[in-house]
Structure 1
Amino acid sequence: MAHSAPFVTSGQLFLFTLSVNTINKYRTMSLRVTEEVMRRSLHFCSRRFRWHLGRLSATASITDASVSSQQLAHIWRTGQSQTCPPRTLIGSARFYSYDSRPGEDLEEKEPAVIQIAATRHGQRSSPFTDRLVRCGSPSDVLDLTCLYAPTVSQVSHCLTQMWSTTKKMSEEQARYELQLMFEHPAFEKLLQHTMRRVRFMTGEDIAYSLLCMVKLGVPQRSRVVQTFLRASQEKLNDLDEKSLSVLATCLDQIEEGTPNVAALKKGMGLQVETRLPWIKNVVLLQTMMRIVGKDAPLKLKRKLERKALSMTDQFSLPNTLYMISTMATMGFYSKPLLDVCSNKIKENLNVIPFSGQYKLLQSCKQLLYRDLDLLTDMSDHAASMMDIWSNKQLVILLSAFESLLFCPTAIMEAFAERVITNPDALTLRDLLCVLKVYSSLNFDLQHQRQQFLDGLTGALVSYLPRMSEFELLKTVYYLCLLGHFPSAPLEQLLQSSTLEQFKTTVPSYVINHERMFRTVDACLRLDRPQLPQHLTVPPFVLGDLTTSIPSDKPWLSQSLRSLVGDQADTVLQEMVVLENSYVIDGVITKPLTHQPSVTEASEAECRSPAESSQRIAVICTANPFCHGTSHPRGPLAAMTRHLNSLGYDCVTVAEHTLHGMPEEKRMEFLSRQLFPERHGSDTRPETEQLGS
């Protein structure tokens, strides 16, 4: 009985061996020449190999096919082991053109490979799927498609496997494998085959295939992606909730303005609105809410809100946490729904793990939702977990609280004790984060303050040689806000060699650097710390404050002028720059209110005009206080400290609070703060209420 020809002839093996020996002999040759020799040799062998493979019968045994698959995979991996020259990922593949090319052959051609029949419904595995799950890279999957012609349903599994393999790789390895994938000749054939067969795919396969193509980096305006977007529109009525969710995830990855995306999003919104009355399950409702996303019209979001409120009695604790996350994903703030969820969470804080609490704080930040009772309870719970949670977890949680402008007193006091006990356990990143949180929230540790700051400073000094210039600037800035001036970091920052490096700062960061340097400069001049040597900040890193003056507030200016206009001996100055560090919205100078005695009157004649009058600095800024209190945050606390040393009394108001008042109420509030003698009562309670 005649035997079939071997897959690889001796001549082919000789040519391949000769190529390898040539490469080993001439290693000093350029990389490009080496790769060219290898590429041509492998290309010749692989073409001859495929030619022999094409002559196999369609009824060839699975055993023979398995051997062929291994040999082919070996040849491809040999070629992939060489370092690829930097090339664009999309290369010259034809299917990337958005518009069809004249004369391009779009007819389906039967590949000269083993044909595997479609698996029957309910069959769990097949030779193709068994080999597919063992593929470790996109190129392995493409090699497999050269051996087996995937069916319509298997195409989606191929793309899914290609994407899932890259998720397990490092960033560098994934980039290299994707480059190999785009250069692989079977990739173009696979996508062409997919594009021609899309009309036979199920809605689920279309959704997953589209998501995988986008994740793999196929250009979003390419014909294949656009074809799948149009097919998704046609199949919308057939998609179940899971497929709609996958499609929504995919659309989030596609850039705005890409053709067919807007129409598809609108169609998905209509699908959700149509199915809404029949939804009886909370998880399904949350899936629908995530599908519509941030681009949904407000009317639809309100319908979803009413549906959710009607189902609150079904909310479990996981439902509650996921609902807040879902609203953050939608970008939809619903206070009634958030309050319901918040009350449920407060009752079950002790069973929510750290990751759940951190995600909750992140969602609250996205929604700008600050429930004072919830945040306080979370702070107390975190303090009780001090012996269980690690430094890293506690620092992350502190940072999340700070981003909400909330001062978690319980956890900050407990964590300060841990820092005092063992400051060396903190990494540089931990130290910078702790300094930022405690300085931003202007937290007063009272009798433990000096021990805490000394512990942090001692740990920071050991990291000074490893700090970048920006990390050093942040360290000194945070310490200055806290009113602490260790000499070592200050001297290193103000060395000429360090300061010179800030001349090359990226323009987008210059304003922030100048602001921090101005604060350091003001602290050195006005706080007058005791240092071994006199330190000053050179002018070239301070910048020009007048170029960064915030826009004026005409509504505030009008109110101040109206108040001062009918006051004798009262002067208003607007947008006053002090010490080249601070811009004051308004300075009101008025005579002292108390009646001087005869002795004081004679002494007043010798005083300067500034000493015989009262100067009030009106500061109107966004988020000046910690949430729920009138306690000033770090930058405002430093400004107030310095203005007081210059002889100013400070009146601080929150911009969003004052701007939102009716004109009459705003005038009354400012009058009570600036001219309390008119009202004859303490105005502090009102200040706290409006400033919080």
Structure 2
Amino acid sequence: TNCLTMAWRLFKNLSEEQQRYEKQLIFEHPAFIKLCQQLLRDSRRMTRGDLVFSLHAVVNLGVPQNTLLVQTLVRVCQEKLNQLDNRCISVLATTLAGMDKDKNVSALQAGLQLLVEQRISSIRDIFILQNLMKCMGKDAPVFLKKKLEMAVLREIDALTFPNALRVFLALVAMNYCSLPILNACSKKIQDHVHDAPFRQLILILEACHTLQYRNVKLFSALADYVNSTACLWDKRQILLFLSACETLGFQPRELMDIFAEKLTEDPEFLNLKNLLVVLRVYSRLNYVPRVQKHVFFETLHNCLSKCLPQISNTELLKAVYSLGILGYLPHHALNELLQKDSMDELIPSDDLNKEQKEMMLHCVKTCMELDSPSFTKPAFVLTENLSSLVSLNLRKAQETLIELLGDENMFRQNVQLPYKYHIDFEIRMDSDRRKVLPIAATDDHPDSSVQRLAFLFAPPSSFCLGTAHPQGKLAMKKRHLNKLGYHVILIQNKKFQEMTNEDAVEFLKGKIYSKDAFTFPEATVQDNN
């Protein structure tokens, strides 16, 4: 056992290439073969500690799972399961978590699960608990997950920084979002973020995405750390971090500024793969650098133009779509895209993602028209009422508007606009913005001085996490509605639903009659012409 364990400890610190070479040497060595034969003979006479550590070492050294040695050790562990102490249970759990499911492994896991249920109240070590969580995995019954959660919470005051990272990943392995544990782990990680290797930062963000856990303070602490040490990381690492933030809908503004500057200084970094990630991140998070905006767009555009000979149709569509969301029209790529579209090469009829691609292409064509410098605000916009009924999540908004304005005739709901745009509610006001006008009166006598307000009640997922900053698609919609002559009022529907009726009335009153509601600056659209 000592020989095998020492071999594993030395082996695990090697690089992958070294491991492959050393593994071959170990397996071909006559002494290793004799050692395995002796282990097979003595397996039933071994102490419980030697047994589980031998299995752990053999499995991690890469001895095939279907060999007689591994299967025998697994069966002996089954026989001696009730004799194992908590430490041995932890080692066994770690080993099983890395093994494929077969008849013997599944039987041992089932037995281990029963044993854990019996002993969980006596386990006081978080390290052991997180190993058990990993082993129990996603298929563990909910009651056992809750027992493990309570066991961890009992010892949460003794949580260390390394254990906080492990518990995060253990919850992912168990597919169990425990807010009390995650909050405690997050606090510990925030306090010791400077001790975390870069790879751990990515794993934390990925774990949060998997568990659908959103903690703005944690994400901000990680982003601030990467931002303050940006000179230590290469561009590939920073892009990896930004990509992980993007999946969470979190916008690290300062870091995105720094990274944009690095890109303009070294555009060679932007091969096709990296370019597509950059475009996805910046467009979804709706962020354009505060300084050298034009240089940033030119850098992206030039790199995209260089990639045109090798880019696939789907990648081209995604790239142009992302730039369109940001309000930039890439001339060369756009021509290439439209040429492919005219020849029906862009979206094959049997494409599994046809609907999504058609939506993206529609957005691109809308951007071409509305974001063109030659576009002028129309004097009249043709609209259509889809239905007098509103969805349940807009019922409160409808009732609040009726209470505030006194009559349903003072606003429209479910309004369909050109370019497939839809607004939840529309209100019209006089040119002095002091009085709400009846819809029928303004329809009968169109007046260019009438102010049109478009209310969009959007879910939290349409905004960057923890902010009122709209994400890319919503920001593009707002920009285009501005172009069509609407003053757009974005409202986070979840927060609105949580308001009391009185607060909701005052809130909408402030939005309707506040001058700020009419001073949305239109995004400056970039055109490379």
**TM tier, shorter chain?**
0.7 to 0.9
Structure 1 SS opposite 2:328: coil
- The match for 1:332 is 176
**Equivalences, count:** 476
Contact 2:124 2:151 in 1 (8 A): no
- The match for 1:366 is 210
Q: Distance in 1 between matches of 2:511 and 2:289?
A: 35
2:409 to 559, 565, 569: 569
* Structure 2, gaps ≥5 residues long: 6-20, 376-385, 436-441, 518-529
- Is 1:280 matched with 2:124? yes
- The match for 1:630 is 468
- Is 1:639 matched with 2:477? yes
Q: CA deviation at 1:302?
A: 3.0
Q: Deviations over 1:554-606 (max 9, x none)?
A: 313543554566515335343x443343344x333455495889xxxxxx899
Superposition pairs of residues 248-287 of structure 1, within 5 angstroms: 248-249=96-97, 253-254=100-101, 267-287=111-131
Q: Distance in 1 between matches of 2:71 and 2:390?
A: 48
Structure 1 residues 609 and 308: alpha-carbon distance in aligned structure 2, compared to 1, 3 A threshold: same
- Is 1:379 matched with 2:218? no
2:456 to 599, 618, 623: 618
- Is 1:554 matched with 2:388? no
- The match for 1:343 is 187
Give the letter for the 1:559 counterpart. K
- The match for 1:55 is none
- The match for 1:405 is 249
Q: CA deviation at 1:523?
A: 0.5
* TM-score (structure 1 length as normaliser): 0.58
Structure 1 residues 610 and 393: alpha-carbon distance in aligned structure 2, compared to 1, 3 A threshold: same
Q: Distance in 2 between matches of 1:407 and 1:607?
A: 45
Contact 2:133 2:170 in 1 (8 A): yes
Give the letter for the 1:241 counterpart. I
Structure 2 SS opposite 1:508: coil
1:428 to 263, 272, 286: 272
Q: Deviations over 1:104-138 (max 9, x none)?
A: xxxxxxxxxxxxxxxxx98989xxxxxxx988499
* Structure 1, gaps ≥5 residues long: 1-120, 126-132, 157-196, 219-224, 532-548, 598-603, 685-692
Contact 2:421 2:477 in 1 (8 A): yes
- The match for 2:82 is 237
Contact 1:229 1:261 in 2 (8 A): yes
Structure 2 SS opposite 1:295: coil
Superposition pairs of residues 267-666 of structure 1, within 5 angstroms: 267-496=111-340, 500-504=344-348, 507-529=351-373, 554-563=391-400, 567=407, 569-574=409-414, 576-584=415-423, 586-590=424-428, 592=430, 608=446, 612=450, 614-621=452-459, 623-654=461-492, 657=495, 661=498, 665=499
Q: Distance in 2 between matches of 1:339 and 1:675?
A: 37
Structure 2 SS opposite 1:341: helix
Larger mean CA deviation between 632-641 and 604-613 belongs to 604-613
Structure 1 residues 234 and 465: alpha-carbon distance in aligned structure 2, compared to 1, 3 A threshold: same
Structure 1 SS opposite 2:490: strand
Q: CA deviation at 1:450?
A: 0.8
User: Quick one: percent identity of the two aligned structures?
Assistant: 29
Q: Distance in 2 between matches of 1:670 and 1:677?
A: 11
Structure 1 residues 150 and 345: alpha-carbon distance in aligned structure 2, compared to 1, 3 A threshold: closer
Give the letter for the 2:358 counterpart. E
Contact 1:618 1:652 in 2 (8 A): yes
Contact 1:229 1:260 in 2 (8 A): yes
Structure 1 residues 605 and 452: alpha-carbon distance in aligned structure 2, compared to 1, 3 A threshold: closer
Q: Deviations over 1:383-442 (max 9, x none)?
A: 222222111101101101111111111211111111122222332211111111111111
Q: CA deviation at 1:216?
A: 6.6
Q: Deviations over 1:452-485 (max 9, x none)?
A: 1112212222222111111111110111111111
Q: Distance in 2 between matches of 1:637 and 1:215?
A: 55
Structure 2 SS opposite 1:652: strand
Structure 1 SS opposite 2:230: coil
Contact 1:365 1:403 in 2 (8 A): yes
* TM-score (structure 2 length as normaliser): 0.74
Structure 1 SS opposite 2:251: coil
Q: CA deviation at 1:264?
A: 6.2
Give the letter for the 1:556 counterpart. N
Q: CA deviation at 1:491?
A: 1.0
Q: What is the alpha-carbon root mean square deviation over aligned residues?
A: 4.7
Q: Distance in 2 between matches of 1:135 and 1:378?
A: 38
Give the letter for the 1:618 counterpart. L
Q: CA deviation at 1:303?
A: 2.9
Structure 2 SS opposite 1:587: strand
Contact 1:591 1:612 in 2 (8 A): yes
